[in-house]
Structure 1
């Protein structure tokens, strides 16, 4: 939690308490279902929470905007982002019911009123969004095909980042980006100075 306070000093006590509760909640549920890799759980706040909050360093979601977390798995990046942006609507989507049930329980426990969950394949979801976030579960091109028609026409943004998708990625992704010349790549090492983030990045691609 000290890392969260270090990089997000403006968070309210309620938000910090919600983020602080995450580790115990996931420790409990992970003993039943492996929603977070047990190999990385020891570094929960850096590898999972802070990594996901890298999106919050790149962009601030507008109040009233709607964001889909595609392939949310255990609720990442949707749950940490929903805590930081309590006036933005987050819809957490995954095709695996047992994971969605756990995520819903965590959402209810934390009383996150701006979050809903749904068990469905993203490409079958009949809803429009302002943004999509994903801790990329597939290649960028594959995900882009799933969601290319799921964006609202109106943009809430007043910056160069308009409606589109934020991908959390690691390593060399130059091949993945060849078909997306307008993608913007943000190194998280510019925001977080821990060595873990040297190869981590947020990639934004328009709809």
Structure 2
């Protein structure tokens, strides 16, 4: 009997051609070597997905658009300057952290997640692709933000983790003053932004840009929200998960 995620894997030539075409359509340059690195990531993810639930998206074309290009939609060279330190909070299968680390090897990327098995998979990707600019970190966002990692990153990213007010409380404490939190959001991004006023004021962040995203081959509208950190976040934040859930900053 065929397993749920026992799916055919595209050839390297097919993947690389499609990846480069779709990246060009999106307006981001992509080298042949970068596309090959993305292929290695794709193959390893599909193979690992047979025994570890990483993603429900397994079709090659959907992986390219909905995972790879969607992750790169937040790339902005004006914010992600060479040598910038970036923490990807709740990275899961490595989105957007791994695509960003592949695309710009000057970025110093930390993949942060609470599930060790996912990080083991990501460590294998890092080793296979020789991503010397990438490392993993195991823990819970509400814990490590109160330790040595507090306000130590230029950028924090997060994709498909939580609604924006909650996400801000989890991520802003990691960002240096003057740095950015970058949230990759879906179709209801305006609703989430509207309910984030209190969180932004409390955590000392301000929205510096909202970039609407239309991915190749898809009809939906998404957005990348850039939040600049204007002052230190009060030490009380982030609070415990139950407190955040029962009394979110809205």
TM-score of the two chains, using structure 2 as the length reference: 0.71
Instruction: Please list, as runs of the form range in 1=range in 2, the aligned pairs for 1:116-195 lying within 5 A after superposition.
Output: 116-125=135-144, 126-127=148-149, 128-153=152-177, 155=178, 163-178=179-194, 179-180=196-197, 182-183=206-207, 184-189=209-214, 192-195=215-218
SS at match of 1:41: coil
Structure 1 stretches of 5 or more lacking a match? 156-162
Aligned to 2:245: none
Q: 1:177 offset after TM fit, Å?
A: 1.2
Task: Check conservation: 1:168, 1:203, Cα contact below 8 A.
Answer: yes
Task: Check conservation: 1:4, 1:45, Cα contact below 8 A.
Answer: no
SS at match of 1:46: helix
Asked whether 1:41 is paired with 2:65, we answer no
- 2:28 & 2:97 partners in 1: Cα distance? 20
- 2:164 & 2:28 partners in 1: Cα distance? 32
SS at match of 1:130: strand
Q: 1:68 offset after TM fit, Å?
A: 0.4
| Greater Rg over alpha carbons, structure | 2
Asked whether 1:201 is paired with 2:223, we answer yes
Q: 1:21 offset after TM fit, Å?
A: 1.7
Task: Check conservation: 1:64, 1:89, Cα contact below 8 A.
Answer: yes
- 1:90 & 1:8 partners in 2: Cα distance? 23
Aligned to 1:159: none
TM-score of the two chains, using structure 1 as the length reference: 0.85
Aligned to 1:74: 93
- 1:147 & 1:166 partners in 2: Cα distance? 9
Deviations 1:60-93 (A, max 9, x none): 5111110000000000100001111101100000
Aligned length: 194
- 1:8 & 1:81 partners in 2: Cα distance? 16
Greater CA drift, 50-59 or 21-30? 50-59
Greater CA drift, 89-98 or 116-125? 116-125
Structure 2 stretches of 5 or more lacking a match? 1-18, 201-205, 230-250
- 1:58 & 1:199 partners in 2: Cα distance? 22
The CA RMSD over aligned residues, in Å, is 2.0
